Amino acid sequence: MLSKIKINKIIKPFNKVLEIEGDKSLSIRWVLLASQANGVSKSINLLKSEDVISALNCLKKLGVKIKFKKKICEIHGLGLNGYRYKKNITLDAGNSGTLARLIMGLLVHAKDKIKIIGDKSLSKRDFYRVTVPLEKFGAKFKTNSGRLPIIINGTDLPKPIKYNETKGSAQCKSAVMFAALNTDGETIIKAKKSRNHSELLFKHLKLGIKVITKSNIDLIKVKGKKEIRSFNYLIPSDISSSAFFIVLTALSKNSKLKIKNVNINSSRIGIIKILKLMGVKINFKNTRNYKGEKIADLLIESTKSLKPIDCPTKLNSSAIDEFLLIFLVAARANGISTFKNLSELNQKESPRLLWGSKILSMMGVKNVVTKDSLKIYGNPNLKVQKKIIIKKFLKDHRVFMVSAIAALTFGGKWLICDKDSIKTSFPSFLKKIRYLGAKIR
């Protein structure tokens, strides 16, 4: 049986405080690095979503002991390249591109062949983007024409490499950084800017990293063979999950919301910069630093008059997971908005640029989509009255959640399939929108 939700009513005004679950990118990175640390590492507020659980299950298969004690996750690290490789290990990355790509970096040193598989959505995604640079370390990757399943045949002596990352992909950059940890020598990466959680964690752990920041690129140097000491980490709330509530508040009438302890790393807050340019009222309070990451409480208010935007492409990477939401805001703006250089959006859990256009068209919003751009003809008075069915979206968690936000802010009679998709990144999503007053069946 399909799990579906029905939303037939716009949300009523609200004035509330929320706490959102832990950041997915940081959760997966903490889990992977803790598994190669010496000793026991602990985290609080680790995101307990399917992507992170897949990471924990992969590590268990590699001999890593993991325990949960109430809100604390404890990982008994095996040291650099200390994984226990049994014969014929298959690691299932589920829906998670981040997990599949980053763990491949750690496995360039694998002593036995390891097979990586994933779900239907992940099996459609491109992996040449990581296997090509990772092969330069000396490992061999047998792919299914660049897709999963992939068999990794590690090398005893991975050698440092030079790598030019041109897509602005933090997953590609991080996979190479993780592989560099196991080499004797210095890996040099020239990377188009993207989220920098791996760099900040490497710095915090004193892992022989140097970053030289230029306007469009970062030069990252990683010296391998440095011991990772066990480390404790309090995972801040996820800005990408918070974004659903930022947009819900902005598009609702007479509402206010405070979201506590959100990670506002500058490489992640593209959505805030873009929404502010469109006139949305968002403020940071109580801003502080935590182990290199920046954290704040967010204050958001509903916004009556929204400006259209010619979205600066330099903000694309820092808003990459939030564009479906930004498109909704553009649909309410007073004029035409344009978004360019977004071909990477079609490389996500589903072809999201196409889904953005599809959802807008179903809502009756005129838009023009190309292979890498979207033009949206906004209408401040738009009210949706039709019946809208959202299905067959490869269970993309963000397509599900953005559809719910559209239903709660524009109206219409929505039937949204595959409710379980929220478990990928944000298991408490429905509980939280209900807490704000949403009526969902």
The letter for the amino acid at 6 is K
Annotated catalytic residue 321: yes
By the 8 A CB rule, do 283 and 275 touch?
no
350: contact with ligand S3P by CB under 6 A: no
Q: What three-state secondary structure class fits 374?
A: strand
What count of residues does the chain have? 441
Binding of residue 195 to ligand S3P (CB under 6 A):
yes
**Is position 320 an interface residue for ligand S3P (rule: CB under 6 A)?**
yes
- Nearest residue to ligand S3P on Cβ basis: 25
Residue (92 or 396) nearer to ligand S3P, CB: 396
Taking the C-alpha atoms of residue 97 and residue 119, their distance in angstroms, rounded to an integer, is 10
Report in angstroms how near the CB of residue 212 gets to ligand S3P at its nearest.
20
Q: What is the spatial order of strands in the sheet that 140-144 belongs to?
A: 89-92, 114-117, 147-153, 140-144
| 119 near ligand S3P (CB under 6 A) | no
Q: Which stretch binds ligand S3P (CB under 6 A): 167-175, 179-187, 223-231, 416-424?
A: 167-175
CB of 268 to ligand S3P, least distance (A): 10
Residue 165 tokens, joined: 């990352």
The yes or no reply on residue 318 touching ligand S3P (CB under 6 A) is: no
Residue 180 interacts with ligand S3P (CB under 6 A): yes or no = no
Which range of residues in 164-172, 200-208, 307-315, 356-364 is near ligand S3P by CB under 6 A?
164-172
User: Distances in Å between the alpha carbon of 30 and those of 78, 358, 412, 418?
Assistant: 14, 36, 41, 29
Alpha-carbon distances, residue 192 vs 173, 189, 214, 272 (angstroms): 9, 10, 10, 21
Does position 96 interact with ligand S3P (CB under 6 A)? The reply is: no
By CB under 6 A, residue 169 contacts ligand S3P? yes
CB of 337 to ligand S3P, least distance (A): 21
> Of 174 and 242, which has the nearer Cβ to ligand S3P?
174
Sheet-wide strand order for 374-377:
336-339, 374-377, 367-369
421 binds ligand S3P, rule: CB under 6 A: no
Which one, 169 or 302, has the nearer CB to ligand S3P? 169
Stretch that binds ligand S3P, among 154-162, 166-174, 247-255, 402-410 (CB under 6 A): 166-174
DSSP result, 2-24: --EEEE-SPPPP-EEEEEPPBPH
Size of residue set near ligand S3P by CB under 6 A: 12
- Cβ proximity to ligand S3P, 96 vs 155, nearer residue: 96
Catalytic choice (23, 119, 238, 321): 321
Contact mark string toward ligand S3P, 23..52, x via CB under 6 A: --x---------------------------
Nearest-5° angle of CA 98, CA 289, CA 398?
Answer: 35
Q: Which of 27, 98, 143, 230 binds ligand S3P (CB under 6 A)?
A: 98
Tokens of 10: 């716009």
Give 194 or 421: the residue with its C-beta nearer to ligand S3P.
194
Cis ω on the peptide bond leading into residue 149 (within 30° of 0)?
Answer: yes
Confirm if 430 and 419 have CB atoms less than 8 A apart: yes
- Based on CB atoms, which residue is closest to ligand S3P, 95 or 249? 95
HEC profile of 114-155: EEEECCCCHHHCCCHHHHHHHHCCCCEEEEECCEEEEEEECC
User: Which residue among 199, 218, 321, 396 contacts ligand S3P (CB under 6 A)?
Assistant: 321
Q: Tokens for 366, please give them.
A: 């005129």
Question: Which stretch in 153-161, 168-176, 204-212, 254-262 sits in contact with ligand S3P by CB under 6 A?
Answer: 168-176
171 binds ligand S3P (CB under 6 A): yes
Distance of CA 340 to the CA centre of its chain: 20
- What does R_g of the chain's alpha carbons equal in angstroms? 21
Would you say 359 and 402 are in contact if contact means Cβ atoms under 8 Å apart?
yes
The amino acid at residue 270 is G
Beta strands in 166-280, from DSSP E residues, in sequence order: 186-192, 209-213, 217-223, 233-234, 256-263
Nearer to ligand S3P, 43 or 169 (CB): 169
Residues making contact with ligand S3P (CB under 6 A): 25, 98, 169-171, 174, 194-195, 320-321, 344, 348
Residues with active-site annotation: 321
